[in-house]
Every structure is written in C-alpha cells, then in structure tokens.
Structure 1
Amino acid sequence: MKFRTLSILCVSIALLAPLSRGSPTGEGLSAVQDFIAAAPPGAILRVPPGIYAGPIVIEKPVTLIGDGAVLDGQGRGTIMHIKASNVTVKGFVLKNSGRSLAHEDAAILVEAPRATIEENRLSEVLFGIYLKDAPGSIIRGNTVIGLDIPEAERGDAIRLWYSSDVLIEGNQTYNARDAIIWYSQDVTVRGNRFEGGRYGIHLMYDEEILIENNRVLRNFVGVYAMYSQGVTIQKNLFMGHRGPSGYGIGLKDSDDVLITENAIADNSVGVFIDNSPSAPETPVIFRKNLFAYNETGVLLMPAVRGDIFAENSFVENFEHVGIAGGGQLAGNRWEQNYWSDYLGYDADGDGVGDLAYKAERLFEHLIDHSPQLRLFLYSPAIQALEFAARALPIFAPQPKLTDPRPLMAPVLPMLAAGHQESPETLLLGLLTGGLLLAALGMIFGFGWGQTSHAARGLRLKLRLTSIFAGRWPAKANSPGEAWVAVRGLTKRFGPVTAVADLSFTVSAGEAVALWGPNGAGKSTVLHCLLGVVRYAGTIELDGYDPQRQGKEARRLVGFVPQQIQLPEDFTVGEVVAFFARLKGASHDIPSVLERLGLAEHAKKRFGTLSGGMKQRVALALALLGDPPILLLDEPTASLDAQTRQEFLRVLGELKRSGKAIVFSSHRQDEIFSIADRVLVLEQGRLVRMERISEDGVALLLGPQPLSRSGGEDLP
C-alpha cells in the first residue's frame, strides 16, 4: 500500500513538466492527453499555465487542476469529455467549443457518476457543463458565459439529464439559454447567479428539488418548474424579468411545491401559475414572500385550485393578483397577507386588519379580460374608471379574492447572508423609490418594513415596459414656498404616544433638524412623512397626502436611512443603474455620480467602500430623479470627523440648490452646518422650535446657547 501511494505521488510530480504554450497546438493536445494517460487512477495532476488544444477525454478517476491553464476547443466539438467516475476538474479556462446544437457541443460533458467540476471559467461555449447520467456530481464555483448569438441558437449554461443527487452551488451564468434539470431528483441549486438567459432555472419532470439563496436576474423567466414534484424555492431574489413572458417564477403542472421567503421584484409577472397543483392533495404553498413593484404580482389561470398564500407581502404592484383571460378564482386560500392598497384599520392593535381585504379594482378586471388595455396604464381614463367604481359601486366588479385577516405590516423575508435588518430601515428606502436595494436589505441579508396604503391618482408618465420608468413632474417651488406641511401629527403605538400634536413646515431651500434623546420620536416623524406608518393629523408633501397618495408623495422624496444595507458584491455602478431604472432616471446617473465624487468608484464593489463612501452612494440613490425633498435619519452617525464634514458640505450645497431637507441628529456640528431651524422633541412632544442664528440658540434643555466650536454630541 505504501509503495502504491509513493508511485502515485512520483508519477504526479513527474508529470508537472510544462506543456506547450502560446497558440493551441497538436503537440499541446498530445501532451495533455498523454499526461492523463500516463497517470495512475487516483492521481492528482497539475497542468501548468498555458494554452492547450482540445478536445480532452478523461477515462480514469483523476484530479485535474488547471492553475489557470486554458483549454481551447478551436470551435470544434466538446472540449472536455469525462467518461470515468470520481473525476475532479478544477481551475481551468475552457473556451471556443463547437456550435452544433444537434451534437450538443459543450465545454465539459460528464457521462459518469460523482464528478466534481469546480472553479472553472467557461466562455464562448455553446453548452457549458452537461451532466448526462452523472449522479452524485458537484458543480461548484464555475463561471459560464454563453456565445454572443441569438437566444434561440444558444445552448444551456448547465444541463442535467437523468442526474440525481447533484449539488449546483456558487456558480455564475451569463447569456446562455437555461440552467435546465431533466428527469432528476434530489438536486440542490444553492447560492448561484443566473443572468441574461431565457430561463434562469428550468425544471422538467423532476422530484425533490431545492432552490435556495440564488440571485436570478434579467432573464425572460426566472425559474420555471414544469411537471415536477416536491420543489422547494426559498430565500432567492427574482428581479428584472421582462420580455415575452417576464415571469419571476412560473409553475406548470407541478405538485407539492413550497415557495417561501423569496424577494420577487420588478418583473412583468412575479409568479405565473398554470394547473399547479394538478391534484388537490399536493398543494402549492406561498409563504412569507415579497412581491414588490411587479406589473402583476401573481397571475393565475382561472382553473387553478389548491394554492395557499399566507403571510406574503404585496407591495405596490400595479396589479397584486391577476386572472389570465379573466374569470373567477375559487378553491385557493388567502390568509394574513399584507396588501399595500389595503384601506382598513386595526382597532385592537393585534397587527391584523379588522376588515377583509378585497381585490376589486375595475381596471384590473378589464385588463384581465382584455390585456391590450394595458396600453392605457397610468392614463387619466384609468383614474376616471377607478373613481367611478368607488363612487358608484354598481360599476365595481366582483372581488377576485378576499383575504379575511390582512396584515397591517409586511412580513420580512431574510435572504442568504443570514442576518435580518431593521424592517423600517430597509423598506423605507424602497418606498421612496430612492433605496430599493437598500430595502431589498437585502440582496443578501434581507429585511422589509411597512409600506403605504392606497397609491392613487396615478399621474406618472411611465414607459409601458416598466412600472418604474417614470419621473415625477414636480413643479419648481420658489424659496419660501412650503414643500412639507405638518399639522397636528400624532402617532401612537398601543398605549405609547410616539409623536403628539406636532406641526411645522419646511420650505424650498430650508433645512429643519429634529433633535432629542433616543425615543423622542425623531425617526417616527420621518416614517410618518414617508407614509409608511399610520398616523392622525395631516401631512402634505407639495399637497399630496403620504397615506392616501403614497406613491405620488414618495416620488417627491429622497430618503437616506441611518444604516445602509446594499448588496456588497454589486458595484457602485450596478447599484445606481438599478435604482435609476426604477425611477426612470437613467439620464441622471453621470451627473449624480460626478456631483458626489463617485464616478471614479463606479466599478468598485460596494462592500469594499469606506463608511463615508457608502453614505455617498445612499445619497446618490436618493437624488436620482431630482426629488425636491430630502429626508435623512442620523445621516453621519457612523462617519469619522473628516468624512462627516465632507458629507455636510454636500448637504449644504443641496440646500442652497433649493432642496427642502428634514433630518434627525444628535450632533451640534450637523445642526449648525445645515439647519435653519431646530425642533426639540421630548417623549414625542415639541418642547421648543428655534431658528439657527449666527450667535447660536438657547435650547430648552440648557440655559447656554449651543457652541459652534464643538462637534460633540448634544447633551
């Protein structure tokens, strides 16, 4: 046994001599193939860096480590063909496969059990990694980039055919056709990124499939499960799916499906359901998912029965639930979901509405029957129809669904990275349209907070391709004209009064500071201004009521939360571009990046930025669309002194440009740098309002005026 181990080690070391480099050659092919042929079973073989010609055939169990070596298929056939079990291939670059769909030319074809394909980069390939009768295999940490050809001519990034007990983990695929799993069971798809394809993940005739913690972005369809059973889809992000279908998730003739804690945002249709479940004893369950800013949150065929929707959050979709072709839904359960257009109340404070939620908007009913009427989305005609249906109930359609106990606040999905942020902090950004990904808390470490109710009077001129692609046509208020008017604002949480009878105004070019100890009600005031908590009294943002006209009001607002939670592996440019698309403000990107000194950092990962730079990114997102009102919650709490001063300088410039600013703070230097007035709060009550003068002001909490020389916290 010792002699055999020593011989394997000696052969492996002897085979480390460099092979041909430069352009791929026949000698390179011969050397690599000979390299493998000469090794005993179980050998660990390292291929030095260089360019080698394919194809390569592996017919014995070996571990092949590339160290960046390039295998070039030269446009002919499959580059690497694995015919033996227990083969590991790691660290190679494979490129230029053949282009025959009929022959299924691939970068790596595996036709044996227990292969490990790990940390390889595949580019300019038709099919990427193809497992054919290869159970027990692992596909981990690979990058697959498809050919730049029409979508119908592409192959699949990852394909499984009769390959069960497979782990697909930590891979990235771009511009391929599908990641498709055929006739397989017990497959786990975890922590991958699927982008720019036809179907991000495609299931056909599968059983016991787990899909979790993936980012599925900008495909025609995110995941489509067809004729499959025992599918669990949890803690994924499905976003940006448009095109002919535009489904985040699609289900067809699939049974025993659990879909839970996913974020499903900015799709044409969040979830499409066709004959799933196919039998009543195998239900399809949706629990604790977020459906946000889709054109249609859930679209069902009229005959669908046996679906259960519980504790989901439907946030500002144009149509929360649709019926394909019209008709009535029956046999499905809607239990304790959150609906952003719910107008009921919660008298006993148990978190559940006292009135049932009913989906009965007239225009939704019309477009379910006649989809071509979507042409009139956001037009004055639609406003007139909805007004008529409310004023004259004879025009109102039968409710599509009834949720007898709707939630008053969203349920919080928690995505991959394993921590859950403050719900208010995270969703506030989404609701302003200024920090959707800060709310999406997201892409890997997710939390959601409350949203508005009744987004009505849609005056937005939006492109039909996206409900987000609009810009609020706010009028240019002159200095001294109030953008924010608060009268008698009162907010109670059960027996606790958080804000009591507060009144103030903020004009264009003015900054108002909210000051007070923890628990004074500062953040609650900001949340009321955003319309994300219910309150008594009156708030107007340029005449719009945040509670009754939440969408319109929030289009006027940019919000910067105290804690910034954005996806750390996104670049600054990717984050800003995403928000710009949501706000229809892509043309603002260059000017906003330049204004805040972020242009040179556009390609940096957000997670590598300093605290000050992260705060600048948050401010950049808030400024997209040029909102006239800025709300900031402790904007410099986590910044060092130098970074704080630079951030305050930028805020001062924004105030001088005419922004109306409301911010909470504990710091004297912030107040004196940008505030024109200070509202001093104690236990939710306004105890004093003072103007900032050159000589300082005397606050009620002390007889001495505030000193302009210090940057320490106020007492």
Structure 2
Amino acid sequence: MAGGIPIMIEGLTKQFGPVTAVDDLSFTVEPGRVTGFLGPNGAGKTTTLRVLLGLVRATAGTATFGGTPYHDLPRPLETVGTALEATFHPGRTARHHLKVYATAAGLPAARVQQVLEMVGIAEFADRRVGGYSLGMRQRLSLAYTLIGDPGVFVLDEPINGLDPEGIKWIRGFLQALAREGRTVLVSSHLLSEVQQSVDDVVIISKGRLIKSGTLSSLELEAAPRTIVDSPDREKLSEALDEAGLAYTEGRGGFIVDEHDPGVVGRAAFLGGVELSALHRLKSGLEESFLTLVGGGEE
C-alpha cells in the first residue's frame, strides 16, 4: 500500500468562458480521515475533482497530491484511486476491464481477483458489464480504485445507486481505508448520504468554499428545533403566537424555533390546545447543511 498523502487545493479557479465554475477555492484533505466534499449539484465539486485528476486545466491556482500534480505522479494508479463515473464498455466483463488496467500499470494479474473479492462482485466477474445494475457498476468502479493499492482515494458520488446493504457496506469500506492511514475524499450533494462515514467536511456553493472542518463542528452549528401538531392547527398557531415562538408549517405540523419541546408544550397547555405530536426535530444537521448551501441545485 502506498502511504496516504494530503490532497492540497490552493487558490483554485476554473472558468468556462464567462462562467466561473470554481472560485479561489482552498482546502486540504488529510491522511487517515474520510472527508466529505459537499455541495448542491452544480456547486463545482466535479470540476474541482477533474482539475485535481488532470482532466481539466485550472484557470488559476493548484490542485495537487502533497504538492505533486496528478500528471507528474510516477505511478499514478499506485498513488491515487479514482472513481468519477461508473461507466464501462457494456460488452466486456468486469474481469477483463480490470485486467486491462492492471496490465497497463504493470501490476500482477492476481490483483484483479483480490479487488473483485474485496468489493463483493467476484461471482459476477465474468458477466458482461452491460447486464450489471447501477450498484454493481459502482462496486466495479471501486474495484478499479483499489487495483494499485493506493494511499489516496478520490470518489465522486460513490453511494449513488446502492441499495441499503450496499450503502452500509461502503460506509464501512471508507472508514476501513482511513483507519489504514489512507486519504479519502468523497463527494456528494447530500450530507445525509455520507454523514455516517465522514470525519471532516468541505462544503462549497457556487464554486466557493462555505465551510471546512470536522463533522462534529457542523453538528454544533445545527440548531435543534421542535415539531408540534394538533387536530386544531389554527388554535395551536394562536397559542404559539401568544408565547412569542417563531415557527413554520410543514406536513408533520409546525416546526418551532425552540430546542426544548417542554417550552412548546407549555405554550400549547396554556392555550388549551390538544396535541397530537410533540418532539425534537432530528434532522438538524441536514437542515444546517441545506441552510449553508441555499437548499437547492445551482
């Protein structure tokens, strides 16, 4: 296994004509950690990764592996495992695909079977990829990233298309890589997909850095709120107004800007309101993320 080295993005800018896809972006991904690269669709994540992997030339700034650009790495497959898209020739088998890459990189043929077993598709290795589900193609992409036993992994939306069992598997897979001292960067447009896997987050929107730090630091910013509902919502609304509590209405009731359900319950009691629901909102972390990025695609 190659040792983990940091991914370093420094002052990165990429323009496509009049459009600025990435705007003076800087962050570092450390070895031994799983870092979630997050933002809505169109935020600039894939462009950043494509510059990092030498597929697109930066307008300004740098994107390197410990100071070395991808195209200057002496043995790239043994340094960086990459999966940007789960696309393979449909007429070829998974085993054949991986053999081609292993041969081109001067790797032992036995490595192909090893990585097929590691991602759980060895029994399907001699089937044509055209018959694979999206989840199986995702696993084949991961097998490709492992072929050179690299110390760095760059994965774009790896959970897309996986069933619940596959999602649980990949979460353990990513954490296992980090425990071995490898550097793991995982992009996603949904925090909920990766929050059980990542240690750190880098959040961007409109090509700019919004936040970077540990997942726990983002959790601290997630202001908890309370859900409350009643068969008589009009009367409940009046009670909340009387108590001076701010709220918005959703399908499951009123979302109140108050972390203590007891405060909300007392307001309803004083207003003589019968309640059908009263509990703390559990999705504060995702709500905080959506607030940071503006809540939608760009």
- Calculate the TM-score normalised by the size of structure 1: 0.30
In 2, the alpha carbon distance for the partners of 1:658 and 1:518 equals 30
Bigger Rg, structure 1 or 2:
1
Give the equivalent residue in structure 2 for 1:648: 171
CA contact under 8 A between 2:40 and 2:190: conserved in structure 1?
no
Unaligned ranges ≥5, structure 2? 226-256, 258-282, 288-292
Counterpart residue number, 1:572: 94
Q: Distance in 2 between matches of 1:648 and 1:580?
A: 26
Counterpart residue identity of residue 577, structure 1: K
In the alignment, structure 1 residue 620 sits paired with structure 2 residue 199: no
Report the Cα offset of residue 490 of structure 1. 1.3
Q: Could you give the per-residue CA deviations for residues 137-163 of structure 1, whole angstroms, max 9, x where no partner exists?
A: xxxxxxxxxxxxxxxxxxxxxxxxxxx
Higher relative contact order (CA 8 A, sep 6+): 2
Is 1:674 equivalent to 2:253 in the alignment?
Answer: no
Give CA-to-partner distance per residue, 1:72-92, whole Å, 9 cap, x none.
xxxxxxxxxxxxxxxxxxxxx
Structure 2 counterpart SS, 1:523 = helix
**Separation (CA, whole Å) in 2 of partners of 1:681 and 1:696:** 17
Structure 1 position 685 matched with structure 2 position 208: yes
CA contact (8 A) 1:528 1:534 kept: yes
**1:561 Cα shift?**
1.9
| Structure 1 position 499 matched with structure 2 position 12 | no
What residue in structure 2 maps to residue 544 of structure 1? 68
Q: Distance in 1 between matches of 2:51 and 2:222?
A: 25
Q: Secondary structure at the match of 1:658?
A: coil
Question: How far 1:685 moved relative to its partner?
Answer: 0.6
C-alpha RMSD of the superposition: 2.9
- Alpha carbons of 1:642 and 1:667: their partners in 2 closer, same or farther (altered >3 Å)? farther
Change (3 A) 1:590 1:691: same
Q: In structure 2, do the counterparts of structure 1 residues 559 and 630 end up closer, same or farther at CA, with 3 Å as the change threshold?
A: same
Match for 1:604 among 118, 127, 144?
127
Structure 1 letter corresponding to 2:97 = V
8 Å contact 1:545–1:553 — kept in the other structure? no
**Cα gap change, 1:619 to 1:697, in 2 (>3 Å):** farther
Does structure 2 retain, via aligned residues, the 8 Å contact 1:690–1:697? no
Q: Report the residue type matching 1:546 in the other structure.
A: Y
Deviation at 1:554, TM superposition (A): 6.3
Distance 1:611 1:696, change over 3 A: same
Matched residues, percent identical? Answer: 36
Q: What runs of 5+ residues in structure 1 fail to find an aligned partner?
A: 1-472, 709-713
> Pairwise mapping of residues 8-19 of structure 1 onto structure 2 (< 5 A)?
none
User: Of the candidates 31, 36, 39, which is equivalent to residue 508 of structure 1?
Assistant: 31
Give the C-alpha shift of residue 496 in structure 1: 1.7
- Of 515, 519, 524, the residue aligned with 2:47 is 524
Do the aligned partners of 1:541 and 1:553 also contact (CA within 8 Å) in 2? no
- The 1:487/1:552 distance shift into structure 2, 3 A limit, reads farther
In the alignment, the residues of structure 2 paired with residue 551 and residue 496 of structure 1 have an alpha-carbon distance, to the nearest angstrom, of 34
Match of 1:423 in 2: none
Indicate the residue corresponding to 1:658 in structure 2.
Answer: 181
Structure 2: distance between partners of 1:584 and 1:670? 35
Distance 1:697 1:671 in 2: 17
More strand by share: 1
Return the alpha-carbon distance in structure 1 between the equivalents of residues 123 and 66 of structure 2. Answer: 36
**1:677-700 deviation per Cα after TM superposition (whole angstroms, max 9, x unaligned):** 111111111011231129935379
Residue pairs, 1:214-233, within 5 angstroms: none
Query: Hey, what's the Cα distance between the residues in 2 that align with 1:546 and 1:605?
Result: 31
Which structure dedicates a bigger proportion of its chain to helix? 2
Aligned length: 230
Structure 2 Cα separation of the partners of residues 637 and 607 of structure 1: 18
Rounded Cα–Cα distance in structure 2 between residues aligned with 1:699 and 1:521: 24
Q: Do the aligned partners of residues 694 and 524 (structure 1) sit closer, same or farther apart at CA in structure 2, a change above 3 Å counting?
A: closer
Tell me which amino acid in the other structure corresponds to 1:534: R
User: What secondary structure, in the 3-state scheme, does the structure 2 residue paired with 1:618 have?
Assistant: helix
Q: Which amino acid aligns with 1:618?
A: S
TM-score, with length taken from structure 2? 0.68
2:105 corresponds to:
583
